Chains A and B, each alone.
Chain A
Amino acid sequence: MNVEAQRISPAPIRKSLRVKASRQKAFDTFVAMGGWWMKSHSIAPAGQKDVVIEPRDGGRWYEIGNDGAERDWGKVVAYEAPERLLLIWSLTGEFAYDPDFETTVEVRFTADGEHTIVDFEHRDLERYGEGAEQVRGGMDGGWGELLGGYQAAAEAG
């Protein structure tokens, strides 16, 4: 069996935003993630209180539930305020934390006059394919409902 041929490379998800804020403010707001994260996207049974990106290389990236319990999402590889953030996102297709499941999120902040260009990339997505059985299991539950909603919206639009 040709193992190499089984590898597939989905293109990274890339987003570029132009935000009307200074680079420092753009960075600070990004890392204060609990201030803008969608509360519906939480792995805390008690609901989400905050999301923490520890301000150091090797730091944790985690969620704090309304009951105070912490749940890891991933880790901080590089914390280069105010220009770059390199994170590991370890939430699987089931939205479950798995420290061995590593996808990469990189965010770059570039000053553009009074604005800041925010370049976002989520890569190594082929790892979702490697965990296909896991993904499929998750899709039967909550993930499937989310996708169902998405599908309905996509088809309506």
Chain B
Amino acid sequence: MTNALAFAALAEPTRQAIVEHLGARPMAVGELAALLPVSRPAVSQHLKVLKDASLVRDEARGTRRIYSIDPAGLGQIRAWLDRFWDGALAQYAEAAEREEQE
């Protein structure tokens, strides 16, 4: 799932970039560090934050640790809420305009 709403949900630019890259495909820390203007330890630290927030998850693959978007995480919840409020507020706007005419 390409979750553009979840990507927009992150306020911190480096973490947002990490989530965008992982949205394209799962990657190891080294691959992410090569794509970003920050050090590998910094990428690791950001990944830890994202993992704690259930935005990304990791799995061991041989000696490497591969990171990917957590399909059950906060990004999903936020995207769901975003859609949910769009729907609810559209209903609200209709109701307010109907009331006004009556």
Contact of B54 with A135 in the complex, beta carbons under 8 Å: yes
Of the 9-residue stretches A5-13, A42-50, A58-66, A71-79, which lies at the interface with chain B?
A5-13
Q: A6-B49, A8-B15 are in contact. Are A147 and B88 (CB under 8 A)?
A: no
- Size of chain B's interface in residues, with CB distance under 8 A? 41
B24 sits at the interface (CB 8 A) = no
- Size of chain A's interface in residues, with CB distance under 8 A? 44
By beta carbon, the residue of chain B nearest A128 is B77
B99 sits at the interface (CB 8 A) = yes
Closest Cβ–Cβ distance, residue A29 to chain B (whole Å): 4
**Residues in chain A within 8 A of chain B (CB atoms):** 5-11, 13, 15, 17, 19-22, 25-26, 28-30, 35-38, 41, 93, 116, 118, 120, 122, 125-126, 128-129, 132, 135-136, 139, 143, 146-147, 150-151, 154-155
A-B contact pairs, 23 of them (CB 8 A): A6-B53, A8-B15, A8-B50, A10-B78, A13-B78, A13-B85, A19-B96, A20-B100, A21-B100, A25-B96, A25-B99, A28-B99, A29-B96, A30-B92, A35-B95, A41-B84, A118-B93, A122-B81, A125-B81, A129-B54, A129-B74, A132-B74, A147-B76
